[in-house]
Each structure stands twice: as structure tokens, then as C-alpha cells.
Amino acid sequence: MAGLLNALNSARTSLEVNQKTIEVIGNNISNVNTEGYSRQKTVLETYPAMNFGDFFIGQGVKITDVSRDHDVFIDQQIKQKAVDFGLQDALTRPLSELERIFNITDDNISSDIDNFFDSLQELSADPSDLVQRNNVILQGQVLATSFNNTVDELNTIKGNINDTILSKLDAVNSQIKEIADLNDRIYTVEINGQTANSARDQRDMVAKSLAQTLGAQSYENENGMLSVALPGGMPLVQGNMAMSITALQTGSDLTLQLQAGGVTRDLELRNLGGEFQGLVDMRDNFIPGLNADLDKLAYELSVQVNLQHQAGGALDSSTGNLFFNIPPNYVASPPGPAPTAAEYAGAARQISVVITDPTKIAAGAAPDPGPPPGTVAPGDNSNALILSNIGDSYLIGGVDNFNSLYGKMAAKVGVESNQNQLSLKGAEDALNQLENFRDGLVGVSLEEEMISLIQFQRGFESSAKFLSTVDDMMTTILGIKR
């Protein structure tokens, strides 16, 4: 009778194991479309056999764990590619805005420069015509406004970048805290010998998101907890302790700071990766570089036009009249070293036409200072011709005229945008390939799950049949005794 009781127990354990395994398979099938879900499976182990006379008889089967398929190497590669994808994805919108500003169509600063010098050329044909003189002033104002508006639009893009960063901070801090909470949950579960499969899947997904946003690097320690740090090494998560990132905004300036253990540290570009690296680099380096080139263009143009305009004579025979306002940081001095970036700064924002009286435009040569002082002939167009040729004849730094310098700015934006599109496509393809590879390796395959389902269904049916057979045998023995 003892043997039948052992057989009955074996049938019971077999039924339980097959039933629980079918439940795990059902959970896999339910999560076939769940992003980041890793296939789970039961780990089976036989009960220790018992000595029965001269041999050992098994006592059934048990589930020792429900494990999940996981590949650390693939997971790390996915996080690395998520960093690259985040960086390129963050650059796409600002670059598209810059392409709109520095366009190569007929409506841009380059065309406004041409229109301004063309108006001077037209004035040279009839230097006493007040309509033509007013047109020169108008085209100068249009050009100055284009410079002003372009600087405003660049500042708007920088402001939009700051707004984007601010809008992401709450989600970033929430994810940092979520990893710390998941660390604590996983440690609590697994210290008792169990496996926190769902929590681990969730933690991997959050870590990937932080990699894409911040370029965060992560590694698992011996306690099963995930440590997360910024590219520069500053910690974000240590065990169940979460740091936070805050923003210090002063006017239009935005500085990111890490709050860690009561200490506040400014985050520089080298401390960031992913989306934040792309946004901060665009805001602090690329756009200021364009702004500096724009200031250089406005500075050189206004200075050269002013110098030549002051050297000529107006209809009222006055000389020394400024056409544009004096650029900020301008110091009148003999020819010397080229101006520095600091001297150029602010020129594009502040350029404007200061001459309002069309008779003050110096289209002719300066009159003889006398005595007695000379006058400017109404038909004198000598200075207007020189002014109209500055756009082609003057070379900034001996290399570029005004239009070619603007062309370099537009080309810089265009090349950067094209490179971004190529890099974004490459990063996206690489990330998709890795995720597809991961899904094939550790994700749910409906075909495999159906095979396993049939296998354990048959096991359950066999166990039930075995249990029924043992029950019949016990009934027969009890019937003999009666």
C-alpha cells in the first residue's frame, strides 16, 4: 500500500507541475506583443529518490524556479545603440528649423545683400533721384531687419531646446526613482531564492529609456541591483538610492544640475549622452557658431559700407555720414589684425540703418574741403559705384565676400542636417536589428509556445491517467480486503 501512496504522490506532483507550466506558457502567449517581455519557463527538478529494498524509486517532480531568458551582451548593445539613436533623434527638429532659417531660396540674407547693393547700382545711374535714394534706405532696412530676425529665430530655437529639456526632466527623474524602487523590489524577492522576472524586464526597459535620453550607463552588481551613472561617471542610481536632475534657469540660460547626496553639481556636455547631449551641444556650440558667423557678416558689411559712405559726399555736400549704426565693440583704428569674435559679438542683433534723409546718402565724391569749400555735383555717382561694388570686391579675411560667407553658413547647416538624417537612419536600423535579434533570442515565439503547450497538455493528461490508474489499483486492493 505504501508503494501505491508514493505513486499517488508522484502523480499529484506531475499534475501540479504540468498545470503550472501551462500557466507560464499561457502568460508567455499573452505577452507576445508586450515590449521588452522576456520568455519565461519553469525549471523542473526531480524529488530525491527513496530507498526501496535494493533500489531507489523516484518521488515525483517539482518546480524550483520560473526563469526568464536573458542575454546581457545583447541588452548592453541595445542600450549603446539607444544612446546613438537618442542623440541623432534630438538633433532632427532643431536642424530642420535651422534649414528653414538658412535657406537657399530667393528669400534669405544673401538675396537681401544682393538687393541692397543692386539698389546702390541703380542709384549710380541717377544719383540725384530721391526715389532711388529712398530705395537704398529701404533695402538697407530690409537687410538689417533680416539680420535682426535671424538672430531672434536662433534665440527662439535655443529657447525651444531649453523648453524641451525642461519637459523631459520630470520623466527622467521619475525613471531614475523607478529603477531604485525596482532594485529594492528585486532584491527583496530574490534574496529569498525567487526570481523577479517581470520587475527585471521592467527595469531593463527603463534603463534603455534613460540611455536614450541621458546616455546613462548601467551595470548589475552582485546583489542583483542595477547601478546607473551618467557618461562622465556621476551616479544616478546606487542600490535603492535615486539621485535627481534639476534645472537652474537664469534668464534665457539653462543649466542642468545633479542633486546627489546633498551635493549639487553642474552637468557639463561631457556628463551627458543621448538626447540631452544632442540638445545641449546644439544649444551651446552649433547655434552659437552660426550666430558668431552671422555677427561677423553683419559687422564686416556695416563697417565697410560705413567707411566708404563716410568718405563720400551727400547732395547737401555733407561728409562723414554713417549709413548703418556703428557695430558694438567697434573701434576706429588703422588697418591691423582682423577683428576677434568678441568684437563681432552682437553686430547682427543691433545692426540698423541710421540715415533717414535721402539727401544724406553719399553717392558722389567728397567735396573739396576748401577754402572755399566745394560742393557735390548732383550727377556725381563715383561713390555710389564704389559702394555698389563692395559686395563683390571686398573679401572678409581675404577669402570670402558677403554672399560666400552666408553660403558657407547655409552649407554648414545643410551638411549637418544631411549627416543627421543618415546617422539617424543608421542608428534606427541598428537598434531595430538588435531588438529583433533580442526578440528572436529571448522573446516569445508562438510556434515554440504552442509546441510546449501541447507537450505539457499531454503530460497533464498522462498524469491524470496515471492518477486514475493508481486510484483503480487502490480500489482493487481495498476491495480484496473486504
Distances (CA, A) of 242 to 162, 174, 218, 255, 308: 24, 10, 13, 20, 64
Whole-number pLDDT of residue 338? 72
Cβ atoms within 10 Å, residue 348: 29
Spell out the per-residue pLDDT of the chain, length 482, in tens.
556 677 777 888 889 999 999 999 999 999 999 999 999 999 999 888 776 666 666 778 999 899 999 999 999 999 999 999 999 999 999 999 999 999 877 789 999 999 999 999 999 999 999 999 999 999 999 999 999 999 999 999 999 999 999 999 999 999 999 999 999 999 999 998 888 999 999 999 999 999 999 999 999 988 889 999 999 889 999 999 999 999 999 888 999 999 988 899 999 999 999 999 999 999 999 999 999 999 999 999 999 999 999 999 998 888 999 999 988 888 775 556 677 778 899 999 999 999 999 999 999 988 877 666 667 777 889 999 999 999 999 999 889 999 999 999 999 999 999 999 999 999 999 999 999 999 999 999 999 999 999 999 999 998 888 888 877 777 777 777 65
pLDDT of residue 230: 96
Taking a C-beta distance cutoff of 8 angstroms, is the pair 125, 432 a contact? no
Residues in the chain: 482
pLDDT value for 333: 59
**Nearest in space to 478 (alpha carbons), one of 4, 11, 12:** 4
Reference 358, options 108, 65, 120, 132; nearest CA is: 132
Domain ranges of the chain: 2-69+449-481, 107-413
At 417 the pLDDT is 96
The answer to whether 276 touches 284, Cβ cutoff 8 Å, is no
Q: DSSP letter for 409, please.
A: H
Closest CA to 129 of 359, 462, 455: 359
Given a contact cutoff of 8 angstroms between Cβ atoms, the answer to whether 201 and 36 are in contact is yes
Q: Which three cell numbers stand for residue 114?
A: 544682393
Q: Contact 193/224 with Cβ under 8 angstroms?
A: no
What is the C-alpha separation between 263 and 330, in angstroms, rounded?
44
pLDDT reported for residue 2: 53
